[in-house]
Amino acid sequence: MNLEQLLVATQPLDVVGSMTMAISGLACDSRKVQAGTLFFALPGAKVDGFDYLPQAVQAGAVAVVAERLPDVCVEGVCYVKVANARQAMAAIAAAYYGHPTAKVPVIGVTGTNGKTTTTYLLESIFKQAGFSPAVFGTIECRFGDVQYEAAITTPESLDLLQMMAEFLQKGADVLILEVSSHALEQHRVDGIEFNAAVFTNLTQDHLDYHETFERYFASKRRLFTELLGEGIAVINRDDTWGADLLQENPQWIAFGLDDRADVYPLHVTVGRDQIDATFTSPQGDVVIKSGMIGDFNVYNLLGAVATAQQLGIGNAAISKGITQAPQVPGRVEKVKNDKNVLALVDYSHTPGALDQALKTLSKLQPKRLLTLVGCGGDRDKGKRPMMAAAAVKYSDLAIFTSDNPRTEDPLEILVQMKSGAVAAGSQELDMTQAADADGFIVIPDRREAIEFACMLAHSGDMLLVAGKGHENYQIVGTKKNHFDDREELDRVLNGANNSEALPSETGDDRHV
Ligand SMILES: CC(=O)N[C@H]1[C@@H](OP(=O)(O)OP(=O)(O)OC[C@H]2O[C@@H](n3ccc(=O)[nH]c3=O)[C@H](O)[C@@H]2O)O[C@H](CO)[C@@H](O)[C@@H]1O[C@H](C)C(=O)N[C@@H](C)C(=O)N[C@H](CCC(=O)O)C(=O)O
Ligand SMILES: Nc1ncnc2c1ncn2[C@@H]1O[C@H](COP(=O)(O)OP(=O)(O)OP(=O)(O)O)[C@@H](O)[C@H]1O
Ligand SMILES: N[C@H](CCC[C@H](N)C(=O)O)C(=O)O
Ligand SMILES: [Mg+2]
């Protein structure tokens, strides 16, 4: 394809140079530019891509899309000025990769919590109905035996469309993706034609980036009001923001716990090992036998069922797909042990998720509920006291430790957590009191904290290790070290000799 053909997808404000050259690749990182590449200079949070034009041209870029023109243009390079470089990039990438999302059904799942879980449920349902789904999200982007490790939940438009085109070419016939608020704000999914969009819920997260709840919601709302077109929206009406969103269009489908929704449970039992329910809907009743636990997963099941029905999947396949859905890695995932301790690793890294996870566990009436949790550095600071307050509200003992401190001082993060616990009326204990008194303790080193928690956990107790879920690393500074909560628990509870549990630097500093 030549540049002129690609530019039909966007409306340039100005062009300097000839547009006739062939484009053999797209990049928004100067370090990935090769001969023949079209380079997008993106204004970023850390640096301005425009400052890397010399490196991009040096590396072989033949054309540049940017929000301004340089003072000096290099001969033989075409410079294209656009109003919004990320928006232009999404449109051009869709054209370059042959509009992959126009060819198959595409489902986007957004909301603060439950996106990954819902995509896994949908994947299992579509497989059961005879489809070959590709999934894009927090854990990985995958189709068949091809898996790309995820650096962020929703990849940049270029990467996303490239993977979609590849997966389609390999036989994928439905695309299921998590759509983060960052992605919506940054136009990462603007080149995607959605057939269905799911709204799970909205609770506090990412206010470091969006600043206000209203702006956080506005970014989520874009998926439904700007990108969905004639597609169908499936929305949690028990969430206040979801109820608001439903006002936009009477055709949209509501799910919830009662008959104000289109899809709701007639009865539901949440046990220690499973959820049993019957969901009713305009498309009839669906029998649910799921290996998931947690009241909140009823919502994820409802969202997945309603979406699959809207895309024409029959209730029998839906029911079977749900029963056969695999464990979602690091989402209320049990670590087996013969001490009769229900040890769970969970990705609750928001106040809402932690509150929901602990609420449901406390309802299962453990002898003692122990919660180990930390908060990520370089992320929304407002979450910290709230997460600590949720931990002490439901737990007999909360152990505050480090999550991914990133470039922050781990002890300062813990001070912010402690303030929330104290404000909630809890008291700090010393290690000698932790075996039987109620309150919280602070152990900054996550490995030591897990060891201490396992020592305290006895038969009949529950231990929730929250915040890191499937992550097999801990980011300290800008270094990513191997660390996996599930391996740590297995090592301490079962004496598993897992050599990977030992500290090892991966040298991979992405996702910081
Ligand atoms: C805050 C945020 O979202 N940042 C994302 C954003 O970075 P940015 O635009 O600020 O980039 P920047 O580092 O300032 O650089 C600007 C431009 O210069 C370019 N550059 C930079 C250096 C160089 O040598 N050459 C060069 O060309 C960069 O490639 C970039 O295009 O665009 C980058 C490229 O797509 C992302 O990798 C980066 O994600 C960072 C790593 C990140 O941590 N993002 C998190 C917060 C995130 O996106 N999270 C969401 C939500 C998670 C969830 O709720 O599930 C997600 O979707 O994962
Ligand atoms: N529907 C829900 N409502 C509230 N909490 C939930 C819900 N579903 C999952 N959770 C909690 O949130 C955690 C993360 O779940 P999941 O990974 O499915 O969400 P996500 O939206 O993909 O999160 P992320 O933004 O980190 O990608 C779970 O481990 C669980 O504790
Ligand atoms: N997608 C989320 C994941 C947070 C996971 C938690 N372990 C942390 O590091 O804060 C984010 O990037 O904010
Ligand atoms: Mg996710």
CATH of the domain at 484: 3.90.190.20
Ligand nearest to the CA of 157: 1
- The pLDDT tens digits of the residues spanning 130-170 come to 999 999 999 999 999 999 998 899 999 999 999 999 999 99
**Same-domain check for residues 184 and 35:** no
From CA 329, how far away is CA 313, in angstroms rounded?
25
Measured in residues, the chain has a length of 512
**Same-domain check for residues 31 and 107:** no
- Pairing status of strand 78-81 against strand 14-16: antiparallel
Question: What's the confidence (pLDDT) of residue 498?
Answer: 64
319 annotated binding-site participant: no
Question: What's the confidence (pLDDT) of residue 210?
Answer: 85
- Pairing status of strand 275-280 against strand 264-270: antiparallel
Q: How many domains does the chain have?
A: 3
pTM for the predicted model, two decimal places = 0.95
**Same-domain check for residues 195 and 113:** yes
Average model confidence (pLDDT) for the chain? Answer: 95
Report whether 110 contacts 198 (CB < 8 A): yes
**Same-domain check for residues 179 and 285:** yes
The CATH code of the domain that includes 51 is 3.40.1390.10
Domain stops at, among 271, 294, 324: 324
Query: Of 503, 119, 47, whose CA–CA distance to 329 is shortest?
Result: 119
Closest protein CA for atom 24 of ligand 2 = 113
Beta strands in 125-173 (DSSP E): 133-136, 140-143, 146-149
Report whether 473 contacts 481 (CB < 8 A): yes
Q: Read out DSSP for 262-291?
A: SBEEEEEEE-SS-EEEEEE-TT--EEEEES
Beta strands in 144-297 (DSSP E): 146-149, 174-178, 196-199, 232-236, 253-255, 264-270, 275-280, 286-290
The CATH code of the domain that includes 182 is 3.40.1190.10
**Same-domain check for residues 440 and 294:** no
293 vs 504 pLDDT, higher one:
293
Domain stops at, among 96, 129, 159: 96
Does residue 373 have a pLDDT over 90? yes
- The pLDDT tens digits of the residues spanning 414-473 come to 999 999 999 999 999 999 999 988 999 999 999 999 999 999 999 999 999 999 999 999
Q: Is residue 504 part of a domain?
A: no
Ligand nearest to the CA of 332: 2
Q: Is residue 508 part of a domain?
A: no
**Same-domain check for residues 85 and 105:** no
Report whether 52 contacts 41 (CB < 8 A): yes
Q: Is residue 502 part of a domain?
A: no
Report whether 493 contacts 455 (CB < 8 A): no
**Same-domain check for residues 374 and 447:** yes
**Same-domain check for residues 286 and 362:** no
Average pLDDT over residues 192-204: 95
Q: Is residue 374 part of a domain?
A: yes
Query: Of 232, 146, 216, 226, whose CA–CA distance to 181 is shortest?
Result: 216
Average pLDDT over residues 344-365: 96
Average pLDDT over residues 121-134: 98
Q: Ligand 1 centroid vs 496 CA: distance in angstroms?
A: 38
- Pairing status of strand 439-442 against strand 342-346: unpaired
Average pLDDT over residues 292-301: 96
**Same-domain check for residues 67 and 116:** no
Work out the pLDDT band at 89, boundaries 50, 70, 90.
very high
**Same-domain check for residues 147 and 200:** yes
Q: Is residue 311 part of a domain?
A: yes
Query: Of 25, 33, 29, whose CA–CA distance to 59 is shortest?
Result: 33
From CA 251, how far away is CA 233, in angstroms rounded?
8
114 annotated binding-site participant: yes
Q: Is residue 184 part of a domain?
A: yes
Report whether 218 contacts 148 (CB < 8 A): no
Q: Is residue 511 part of a domain?
A: no
Domain stops at, among 306, 324, 342: 324
**Same-domain check for residues 138 and 208:** yes
Work out the pLDDT band at 507, boundaries 50, 70, 90.
very low
Measuring from each residue's beta carbon to the nearest atom of ligand 2, which residues come in under 6 Å? 111, 113-117, 138, 153, 178, 200-201, 296, 299-300, 331, 346-348, 352-353, 356-357, 469
Q: Ligand 1 centroid vs 158 CA: distance in angstroms?
A: 13
**Same-domain check for residues 207 and 140:** yes
**Structural domain range at position 353:** 333-496
Closest protein CA for atom 11 of ligand 3 = 379
Work out the pLDDT band at 501, boundaries 50, 70, 90.
very low
Give the atom of ligand 3 at the shortest distance from the alpha carbon of 475: 9
- Pairing status of strand 479-482 against strand 473-476: antiparallel
Q: Is residue 315 part of a domain?
A: yes
188 annotated binding-site participant: yes
Measuring from each residue's beta carbon to the nearest atom of ligand 3, which residues come in under 6 Å? 153, 349, 376, 379, 403-404, 467-468, 471
Give the atom of ligand 2 at the shortest distance from the alpha carbon of 200: 1
Phi-psi region of 211 (alpha: psi -120 to 50; beta: other; left: phi over 0): left
**pLDDT > 70: what percent of the chain?**
97
